[in-house]
Structure formats: structure tokens, C-alpha cells
Amino acid sequence: MRLKNKVALITGAARGIGESIAKAYAAEGAFVYVTDIDLTNGLIVAQAIGSSASFVFLDVRNEKAWSDITDSIIETHGRLDIVVNNAGITGFEESFEPHDPEHATLEAWRSVHETNLDGVFLGCKYAIRAMRVTGSGSIINISSRSGLVGIPAAAAYASSKAAVRNHTKSVALYCAEQGMKVRCNSIHPAAILTPMWEPMLGSGPDREANMAMFVQDTPLRRFGMPEEVAAVAVMLAADESSYMTGSEINIDGGILAGSAGVPSEKT
């Protein structure tokens, strides 16, 4: 029960990484606010967790919505200990329009940044204000491997995630300057098997071949699982990581470490 008596808010928690973090936090003793714009799946996740979770519709781009939900949490629980800014989009959800630096539209660029960056800015802003009540807390921003390297076909996504990485450090330093025990760290996943991948992986006999193709440059030669990201999010939320702030943790199967040869069979 590493998060016993803590109150957590997680954005984009209706599926994927956010869902896994919500379930992991509840299993560790936290009360979890499952938030998303996906009403149907958000309610399903909260109901699956049970009495230690509540679903609240939250559009992370809406500042008033952030103000309202954090005020409500403080009124109800008297504290907000953990905020995970997980909600994000690739820009390819509705259509596969070009997102390279030459052909991306300004509208598409702004749309991705509005969710991925503005949403994180607002999440951090209102987390800090709410955490002033106790003077402590943990803010965890979900960035990406794409925030550390360039992605030619997803320029807006890579740009937004790089900005999340750096804003995390600004928040960490600001809270330290304020004399608050509020920590802010970022997680950088890559090749995590979430619903985002399903259209590309397909089904049937080609699925395994497609999966192998997408992870062939990953030293561990497999996809990561959302639960593996959630495990790191638990650690960053727990008191055991109280000396970590402004840090970034890669969960990428070794991609950023370099290349590795194909494992040889033991003789």
C-alpha cells in the first residue's frame, strides 16, 4: 500500500497507459480520479476499480475545467497528492494527414500542442495550486521517446513531447524555489502496446509479423506493456522517490541506449 491515503488525478485514463496507472494507484491504496473526454470508457475504468475511484469528464484544454475539478477535490478530500498528466494525441486519430515539417497544417500543429502541451501546462498549474494545501505532492508528466529524438513524420507530436520534458524541469525548479515539497518528473515511453497501435498491427495471421516488424530495432525485441509504465508511475508517486525531481525516466526497451545484435542461441 505505497500510496495509502493519497488522492490522485490522472488524465487520459479511459484506456492505455492512463488506465493502467489508475488501476495501479488504486491497488496501492490511493483514491483515484479517472479523467478523460471518453465518457464511456472512463466510466468503465472507474467502475472496474470500484469504490476507490471516481470518473470525472475533463477536457485538459479547458482551464475552467481544471479549476473546477481541483477545487472540488480539495473540498471533498482536503488534499491532492498526485497528478499524472497523461492525456495526449498523435494527431493521426481522425485522419492520416501529413505531419512532417513541410506539409503539416498550422491547424493540425496547434491541435496537437493544445492537448499535449497546453493540457500539461494547465495540469501542472492547477496541481501546484492544489498541492499548496499540504505543501507536498508529486506531478508526473507523460512525455515520450519522441520528446528526446526527432520524428520526421510526426513533427507536432515530437515537438509537443519535447516541450513537456522541459516544462517538467521548470515546474520542478519552481516548486523547489517556493520551498514546497512538490516534485515533478517525466516518463518517456516508447513502443508501448496501447490501443493506438491496433490499426497498424491488424489481426489474424499477420499480427505477429507486424508486431515483430515494429520492434525489430528495439534491443529487447518486444513491445512494452502499459503496466510496465504504471509501475514506474507508482514509484514516482510514492514517498520512496522523495529525492527525485526534474528527472526523466525512459521506458523504451533500450531504444535510446543504442543498437543491439540479434540474441544468439545458447550452445
Provide the pLDDT for residue 265: 65
Domains and CATH numbers, the chain: 7-189+225-250 (3.40.50.720), 197-223 (no CATH)
Per-residue pLDDT band for 194 (boundaries 50, 70, 90) equals confident
State the amino acid at position 23 in one-letter form: K
Furthest CA-CA distance within the chain: 64
Helix ranges (H only) for 117-261 are 119-131, 155-177, 198-201, 207-214, 226-237
C-alpha 111/C-alpha 166 separation (Å) is: 20
Looking at residue 179, what is its pLDDT? Answer: 97
Percent of the chain at pLDDT > 90 equals: 82
Q: pLDDT tens, 24-53?
A: 999 999 999 999 999 999 999 999 999 999
Residue 93 confidence (pLDDT): 67
User: What is the mean predicted confidence (pLDDT) over 164-186?
Assistant: 98
Asked if residue 183 has pLDDT above 80, the reply is yes
**Residue 195 pLDDT:** 80
Q: What is the pTM of this model?
A: 0.94
pLDDT band at 85 (very low <50, low <70, confident <90, very high): very high
Alpha-carbon distances, residue 161 vs 35, 87, 147, 204 (angstroms): 20, 12, 4, 33
Helix (H, G, I), strand (E, B) or coil at 1: coil
**Residues noted as catalytic:** 157
Digit-coded pLDDT (tens) for 197-228: 776 777 777 888 888 888 888 999 899 999 99
As given in the structure block, the three cell numbers for residue 11 are 488524465
- pLDDT of the residue at 201: 77
pLDDT in tens, 91-135: 876 666 778 999 999 999 999 999 999 999 999 999 999 999 999
